[in-house]
Amino acid sequence: MAAELVPARVDFQSAGADFWKRYHAYRRLRQQESRPDDPVRPDGMEEKWLKRESPFDIQYSYEYARDGVLVSWISASTIKPGTPEYDSNKHLFWADLYVRPDARRQGIASASLPLLLELMDAHGCTVLGIGTEEVSGHAFLRWVGAEARFTGAENRLNLADVDWSMVDRWVGEGPRRSPGTKLEAYDGPLPEAMWDDFATQLTIVLNTVPFEDLDHGDIVVTPDHLRDFYGRLEISDERLHTMITREPDGTISAVTDTTWAPHRPTIVEQRFTGVRPEARGRGLGKWIKAAMLAHLHELYPEARWVSTANAASNAPMLAINKKLGFRQYRAGTEYQIDRDGLAARIKRLPARKP
């Protein structure tokens, strides 16, 4: 039961072999529940990833362990003071909770709520956000009193079903509809000479993404963000591919990027795709998505799937993806609750027995 368990904060830098053994068993169990067909990141790679500290976020990790088994996992974060996004994001606290299936309905998740409130108060955060894809997670968050603020899904494209003649047609239509627009393609990290301009323009496009009713701050990308991102890709041996369309005046009108890694050779991760509002209606989204798809098909013939995440309200991008053949694989919801609402829920929790 929950009364037997105490959350222990994890320091990845000093964690020993016993911790890593139970942690890797936990993440395989979680992956089997949520994405059973996908490969797991190799253990050594995962450890390097977690040991790399974020320059932009204050991060917490806690485990509940019993008899050498990781029963429940908590990770949480908030923005670091002094970072570019701090002013508009400082009130937000993000968390992830997981309880292994055979330990659910024992009060473990609810026993974690006071810890989250304590961490929020330590940083002056007033809004807690938690996402879930699981039926049990939805039920728990509604019980807590959190509100569903954003819905999205992971959509997947089976490359065997792609209409490649349509892809070729979209690629050809792009320059005909926008004869002054140039398509640029980059394999690997962007040249450092581009970072300042690219970060500034990417920030503009990212802030046009629909977030529905989610309480969120501004997205600010800087060259330091790109440096950290590229460093993390190196740890995971991720191969990055970026395509942009650039207008005659130098404006980046559309952008898309993808990653592929040897440890998951059959899956390409389609990351962000966006078109500046003033450039929409010219087929730029179709152009760069199709050009990227054709490029990846040539580079990685062993790839079978393209995976991407989309907001349920992003109708233009969903329309493009649907025509390409993307289908929903997993759906999820982001919930939020304010600090006082969380505190009120905690007060109604039954007292824990010593």
Domains 2-152+334-347 and 163-324 share a fold: yes
Q: Can you give the pLDDT at residue 313?
A: 86
In angstroms, rounded to a whole number, what is the distance separating the alpha carbons of residues 50 and 56? 15
pLDDT, tens only, 183-224: 999 999 999 999 999 999 999 999 999 999 999 999 999 999
**What is the average pLDDT across 71-77?**
98
Tokens of 320: 């493009």
Residues 6+ apart with CB under 8 A from 66: 4, 5
Residue 304 pLDDT > 90, yes or no? yes
Percent of the chain topping pLDDT 70 = 98
Count of residues in the chain: 354
Residue 270 has what DSSP assignment? E
Q: How many CA atoms lie within 13 A of 158 on its CB side?
A: 5
pLDDT, tens only, 85-109: 999 999 999 999 999 999 999 999 9
Q: Can you give the pLDDT at residue 314?
A: 87
Classify domain 163-324 at the CATH superfamily level: Gcn5-related N-acetyltransferase (GNAT) (3.40.630.30)
CB 248 within 8 A of CB 180: yes
pLDDT, greater one: 176 or 2: 176
Residue 30 pLDDT > 50, yes or no? yes
pLDDT, tens only, 237-258: 999 999 999 999 999 999 999 9
In angstroms, rounded to a whole number, what is the distance separating the alpha carbons of residues 2 and 353? 9
Assign 354 a pLDDT band (cuts: 50, 70, 90): very low
pTM given for the model: 0.94
Tokens of 15: 């964690």
Q: Can you give the pLDDT at residue 312?
A: 85
Residue 80 has what DSSP assignment? P
Average pLDDT value over all residues in the chain: 95
Residue 353 pLDDT > 90, yes or no? no
Residue 2 pLDDT > 60, yes or no? no
Percent of the chain topping pLDDT 90 = 94
Expressed in percent and rounded to 5, the helix, strand and coil fractions of the chain are 40, 30, 30
How many Cβ atoms sit within 10 Å of the Cβ of residue 18? 10
Domain ranges of the chain: 2-152+334-347, 163-324
Q: What is the fold, at CATH topology level, of the domain defined by 2-152+334-347?
A: Aminopeptidase (3.40.630)
In angstroms, rounded to a whole number, what is the distance separating the alpha carbons of residues 121 and 113? 12
